[in-house]
Each structure stands twice: as C-alpha cells, then as structure tokens.
Amino acid sequence: MENDTIAAIATAMGESSIAIIRVSGQEALTLVDHIYQGKNKLIEATSHTVQYGHIVHPSTNEKVDEVLVTVMMAPRTFTRENVVEISCHGGLIAVEQTLELLLSTGVRLAEPGEFTKRAFLNGRIDLSQAEAVIDLIRAKTDKAAKVAIRQSEGKLSTHIRSLRSEIVETLAHLAVNVDYPEYDADVLTGQFVVERCKSMQTDLERLLQTARQGKILREGIATAIIGRPNVGKSSLMNALTQENKAIVTDIPGTTRDVIEEYVNVRGIPLKLLDTAGIRETEDIVEQIGVKRSEKALQSADLVLFMINHAESLQKEDLFLLEKIKAYPSLIIINKTDLPQQIDYEVVQAKSGNKKMIPLSVKTENGLDQLEEAIKDMFFAGNIDVNDQTYVSNARHIQLLEQAKASITEVISGVEQGIPLDMAEIDMKNAWQSLGEVIGEAVAEDLIDQIFSQFCLGK
C-alpha cells in the first residue's frame, strides 16, 4: 500500500475558483501523462517547472480542462516522492472529472492525511511533528466519516445495499454448493449467474450515469429551505429544480416530510431539502415533520430562510431567525408580487446582517439574484463544505467502476466456461467494492448469510 501513487484535491474547495490536485508516488508522472496533453510529456519535463496543457479523456480525447501542471521529482518534494500538482481552472465539475480520470489510470485516492503521513514516514517532517500528523489524520478522518454517514442515509446507499444483498445471496449459494456438496440445495447454474450479473451490470451502469451527471451521487451542499408554513418553500424548490415534485397548496402545513432534490446552481451542486414549515402544532404528523425539519437544519451546510413579503414578521419568524444565526444563510423574502407588509430593516437587524434577497417565485423575479448569491457565498468560502464531499464522489465513481468491471469479468468468465467457484473471485471483488462505497464491513457477512439462508448441519 505504501509505494503506490496517490492523489487528492489539495486546496479546500470554495476558497478560490482554482483547485489543485496533488499526486504523489513513484508513478506520479507516468500516470498523469495518461490524461495530460501538452508540449512535452511530463516525464520529460525538468524537475520543479510548471507546464501548460490540457487534461484529456484518454479514450475519447475530449478536453476536460485547461491546466497548469507543476512537476517535482523526488526527493526534493513534500513527500520525498515524485509529485505532480495539477491546477484546474474549469470549476468544480472539471476538478472532479480530472480526479476521476486520474483514479481510472490506477492512481489511488489518498486516505485522509496521507500526504503528510508519507512526508513523515519518508523523513521529511521531523519527529516533534508526529503528534500534529496524528491529529491531522484523526480530524480528516472524522470529517470524512461525517460525510460518509450522511451519504449512507441517502438514495445511493439504498441502491447499493440492494445490489450487495443480491450478490451476497448468490455468493452464499455458491459457497453452499462448494462447502456442502451433498446438501440438497439447488446447484447454481452458470446461466443463472450470468443473468443475475447482467441485470446488476445494468443497475451499476445506471448508477454510474447518474453519478456522472451528479444527480444521486453528488451529495452536494446540503441546502435546507426553512420557514413558516405557507411562505412558499415548496414553490421555491420546484422553481430551482424545474420540476413539480413538492406539493404546493395554499394550506399552511402542506409539506409533512423533508423532500430532497439535487440541482446544479451555476456549477455548484446543491442537495436541496424542502422542509415542513416550522410552527407549534397539535397535528402529530405535522409535529414529526417539524422535528425532521429541525434535523435537516442541523445537518445543513447552507440555509435558505424564507419569510413572507406580504405579511408582517411573526413570532415563529423571530424564533427561526434566532435559530439560523449560527448557519451560513441567506434570507429570502418571497411574494414580492404582493403588497409589502414586512419591515426589511427589522429583518436585517434580527438576522445579524445576513444577506436579504427579495424575490417572487410566482413571477420568477429575483431568482437570478438568489442563484448569484449562492454562488458568491460558495466561492467566497463562506459555506463550509469540505473537499471530502467532492473527493468522496470521485471515490464512489472509482469504486462503482471497479464493481462493474468485476461483474463484467464474472460474465465473461462464466461464458468462457470458467468454473463458477472461480468466477466467484470477481463477484466477491464487486461485493467488496460496493461495500466500500457505503463503508460496510465485509468479513463476516457472507458466513452469516450462508447459515441464515441454508439449513446445514450434521
């Protein structure tokens, strides 16, 4: 594990519109060369120079981004290994694509803190800093774990869990055929395995496609739309997603549960959360909805707090204004098509000088300003999303690709007449890659499955 080539996004996302991907390891130059086109190949470049060129898709030759690449040869580098730093200019999507391409060449995504760890292990950092390195690894890991937990509750993991359970059932069945040859379980046939794998292949392809479009996988900035009932939250959600998913009525308390949607606002992926309007209520269902809204608020990276232009400030508004103070947030004053009742100055004061955006979802007046404001906040670094989110997307894609490749090998192996128990090696690999996406332990699952699925014994 220690000698392979690793990569990660080196700059915190959002701090500037330039992002740097750092690659370290013996093969760093040759591997980056697979996806780089410039005047020279990087391996021919002089150490410690900057090269200008493009990141291109190795098979389609399609240009992904215009880049500056810094080449630094061992040992005069941070990690004492060969290091390549790619400065991407084309925004988030380009960074992610570049990282993804790199991973497909065999570069491994760095573990949290791994560059510093290598620097330390290679004697680049002195001993007194060991504690600091440990702290860094711990902190980064905790952050990554937080992202992972969030993702494990999402749609992606539901898909992956069901794929995995399909695989593990098949594996258990194969295992029983092997370990208990005399047991009267049906013997799995190659044809059956191929059929199953083909359907999994389709599922994986679909997942990958959505991943690339950044719909399900791209976790995005968790953006909660919060506000009193009936201010127009669901309407805003529908306007931003250009779908009519959230139900809109003029009855306060329409939305009873949190609704998630993924959108791309000026290149920035958002996970929009439409929530139940928060107010004191006797209705049990609504109460649950309100609880969930509060939870959504807690896990939000960005809050869009909405109040009604056409009503005076209510007790609940004040309560909520207080609540969102701690979060990066924008105040949206909706229904500007109706006569003004609200006092902007009071809102401004109570919110602690947050940016206010008057708009009308109905006439779409002001929506542009909202989108612009979100973008500004992001690039100003005001939204604390860590690069882990992006990195984990790239990682997911890599793992899903691996899983798909393994499943494809099962199919081709079985079709060529390889014994099933051998093709099982690939199936297990697929299962493991998928497990890594959602961070699930692998070791004991299979054994458990065998004994719960089949009645074995003496």
Partner 1 sequence: MSYQASNFDVIVIGAGHAGCEAALAAARMGCKTLLLTLSLDTIAYMPCNPSIGGPAKGHVVRELDALGGEMGKNIDKTHIQMRMLNTGKGPAVYALRAQADKVLYQREMKKAIEEEPNLTLHQNMVEKLLMEDGSCKGVITRTGAEYHAKTVVLTTGTYLRGKIIIGDLQYESGPNNQQPSINLAHHLQELGFEMVRFKTGTPPRINSRTIDTSKMEIQPGDTEPRAFSFETKAYIMDQLPCWLTYTNEKTHQYIQDNLHRAPMYSGQIEGRGPRYCPSIEDKIVRFADKNRHQIFIEPEGRETLEMYVQGLSTSLPEDVQQDILRTIDGLEKAEMVRTGYAIEYDAIVPTQLWPSLETKLVPGLFTAGQINGTSGYEEAAAQGIMAGINAARKVQGKEPVVLNRSDAYIGVLIDDLVTKGTNEPYRLLTSRAEYRLLLRHDNADLRLTDKGYEIGLIKEDRYQRFVAKRNAIKTEIERLRKTKLTPNAEVQTKLAELGTPDINNVTELANLIKRPELTYQEIMKLSPAPVELSDEVMEQVEIQLKYEGYIQKSLLQVDKMKRMEEKRIPHWVDYTKISGLSSESREKLQQVMPVSLGQASRISGVNPADISILMIYIEQGGRTA
Ligand X SMILES: Nc1nc2c(ncn2[C@@H]2O[C@H](COP(=O)(O)OP(=O)(O)OP(=O)(O)O)[C@@H](O)[C@H]2O)c(=O)[nH]1
What's the rounded Cα separation, in Å, for the pair 219 and 210?
12
Which residues, at least 6 apart from 388, have a Cβ–Cβ distance to it below 8 Å?
112, 140, 143, 144, 147
Under rule CB under 8 A, residue 192 binds partner 1? no
Q: In angstroms, what is the minimal distance from the CB of 448 to partner 1? A: 8
Which residues, at least 6 apart from 225, have a Cβ–Cβ distance to it below 8 Å?
233, 236, 237, 272, 273, 274, 275, 304, 306
Q: In angstroms, what is the minimal distance from the CB of 219 to ligand X? A: 23
Under rule CB under 6 A, residue 234 binds ligand X? yes
Question: Using CB under 6 A as the criterion, what x/- string covers residues 178-217 for binding ligand X?
Answer: ----------------------------------------
Choose the one of Mg ion, ligand X, partner 1, none that binds residue 112, judging by a C-beta under 5 to 8 angstroms depending on kind: partner 1
CA dihedral sign, ordered 189, 195, 199, 205: positive
* # residues near partner 1 by CB under 8 A: 49
Q: Out of 70, 77, 82, 234, point to the residue binding Mg ion (CB under 5 A).
A: 234
What's the rounded Cα separation, in Å, for the pair 372 and 99?
27
* # residues near Mg ion by CB under 5 A: 4
Under rule CB under 8 A, residue 179 binds partner 1? yes
What's the rounded Cα separation, in Å, for the pair 88 and 53?
11
Question: Using CB under 8 A as the criterion, what x/- string covers residues 53-92 for binding partner 1?
Answer: ----------------------------------------
| Encoded amino acid at 217, one letter | L
CA-to-CA dists, residue 408 to 171, 211, 377, angstroms = 16, 19, 43
Q: Out of 135, 205, 243, 364, point to the residue binding partner 1 (CB under 8 A).
A: 135
Nearer of residues 188 and 248 to partner 1, judged by Cβ: 188
| Encoded amino acid at 95, one letter | V
Choose the one of partner 1, Mg ion, ligand X, none that binds residue 390, judging by a C-beta under 5 to 8 angstroms depending on kind: none
Nearer of residues 231 and 427 to ligand X, judged by Cβ: 231
* # residues near ligand X by CB under 6 A: 24
Under rule CB under 6 A, residue 241 binds ligand X? no
Q: Strand 19-24: give its sheet, edge to edge.
A: 36-38, 49-56, 63-72, 83-88, 19-24, 6-9, 108-109
Choose the one of Mg ion, ligand X, partner 1, none that binds residue 282, judging by a C-beta under 5 to 8 angstroms depending on kind: none
Q: Give yes or no for a contact between 148 and 392, defined as CB atoms under 8 angstroms apart.
A: yes
Q: Would you tell me how many other CB atoms lie within 10 Å of the CB of residue 142?
A: 10
What's the rounded Cα separation, in Å, for the pair 113 and 137?
5
Under rule CB under 6 A, residue 232 binds ligand X? yes
Q: In angstroms, what is the minimal distance from the CB of 126 to partner 1? A: 9
Binding site for partner 1 (CB under 8 A): 1-3, 111-114, 117, 120-121, 127, 130-131, 133-135, 137-138, 141, 171, 175, 177-184, 413, 416-422, 425, 441, 443-444, 446-447, 450-451, 455-458
